[in-house]
Homo-oligomer: A and B are copies of this chain.
Amino acid sequence: MKINNRQNLLVATLVGVLACAATIARAADPLPSWNDGQARQSIVAFVTKVTQPGSPDFVPPAERIATFDNDGTLWAEQPMYFQFFFALDRVKVLAPQHPEWKTKEPFASLLKGDMKSALAGGDRSLLEIVMATHAGMSTEEFDKIVKDWIATAKHPVTKRPYTEMVYQPMLEVLAYLRANGFKTFIVSGGGIEFMRPWVERVYGIPPEQVVGSSIKTKFEMRNGKPVLVRLPELNFIDDKEGKPVGIGQHIGRRPIAAFGNSDGDLQMLQYTAAGSGPRFCLYVHHTDAAREWAYDRKSHIGKLDKGLDEAAAKGWTVVDMKNDWKNIYPPERK
């Protein structure tokens, strides 16, 4: 077949039109990293019905509150909560100023790299490590410490920055909800001031929409400047029964959608589900040992046992990471 110039032009135009149509189709898919399946369909169906004016399930934008756990729901949490790696790195940085740590537990074992002995004291050891590394400075100094760490630290297994170990499919859910008038909140057992310095950049969630565990702070003049000083004293544990309490304190409204991955999120999902009108609860189930980690009922971190039973009984959405997600993490940055 011989193609003349006019035909060439026509072909070029057609190719252009088709390419453009494909782009539009792609742009119109808000969840490109999700395989078509029950999980994906349930998300789209929920968002569609609560945003359709005139629908009996319509929810006014002001009430479209969605809460997300962080560890294991928005980013990975294995082999340990990432905030714990932060604390360990801080112990190493601060060790020269604390010669007593050489013989004082849990620091002595930590500095020798003996994690098991360091944590033998359970919650008390953990609390000591957190207080030694998270308190004493102003909130603004701590903000800078976290920002500096998260910009450079690498995950021990993947060797990627922690902020690249966020779940691409969940980033898409966050953006999809916000594009549909939802306000997205983090409600995490992690430290509120450990998350705030980076979640706006990474998740598009501003500091004032972060609920988390916290230590007390005190208003104080330092060098003539009023600051908030972080005290070595627990303020609030935002886990299990604490999550609905944290939601009450910070948001003051029952969410209509909640996302978690462990039994620590169960009360948040129960609280969300029990409101009147349409509700959406989702568990991320870690089933992908090849691309991420596979764990649930017996895991020492992010244990999902009772939650899995309740999700089945109540018909909540359970994401099968291996089969529902095309990608786990965003593409590596150069």
- Decide if A139 is an interface residue (CB 8 Å cutoff): yes
A residues apposed to B, CB below 8 Å: 62, 65, 139-140, 183, 185, 192-193, 196, 200, 206-210, 214, 217-219, 225-228, 235, 241-242, 244-245, 248-254, 267, 270-271, 274
Tell me whether A207 and B271 are in contact (CB under 8 A): no
Given A192-B252, A208-B250, A241-B219, A225 and B274 touching (CB < 8 A)?
yes
A-B contact pairs, 9 of them (CB 8 A): A62-B200, A139-B248, A183-B208, A193-B252, A217-B245, A219-B241, A219-B242, A219-B245, A219-B271
Across chains A and B, which 7 residue pairs bring their CB atoms closest together, nearest first? A207-B252, A219-B241, A219-B244, A208-B251, A228-B248, A196-B252, A226-B270
Tell me whether A217 and B248 are in contact (CB under 8 A): yes
A193 to B: closest C-beta gap in Å: 7
Tell me whether B207 and A251 are in contact (CB under 8 A): yes
Residue from B62, B219, B244 in contact with A228 in the complex, judged by beta carbons closer than 8 Å: B244
Contacting residues, chain B, for A206 (C-beta < 8 A): 62
Tell me whether A267 and B219 are in contact (CB under 8 A): yes
Contacting residues, chain B, for A245 (C-beta < 8 A): 217-219, 228
Contacting residues, chain B, for A218 (C-beta < 8 A): 241, 245
Tell me whether A226 and B193 are in contact (CB under 8 A): no
**Could you tell me the distance between the alpha carbons of A242 and B235 in the complex, rounded to whole angstroms?**
14
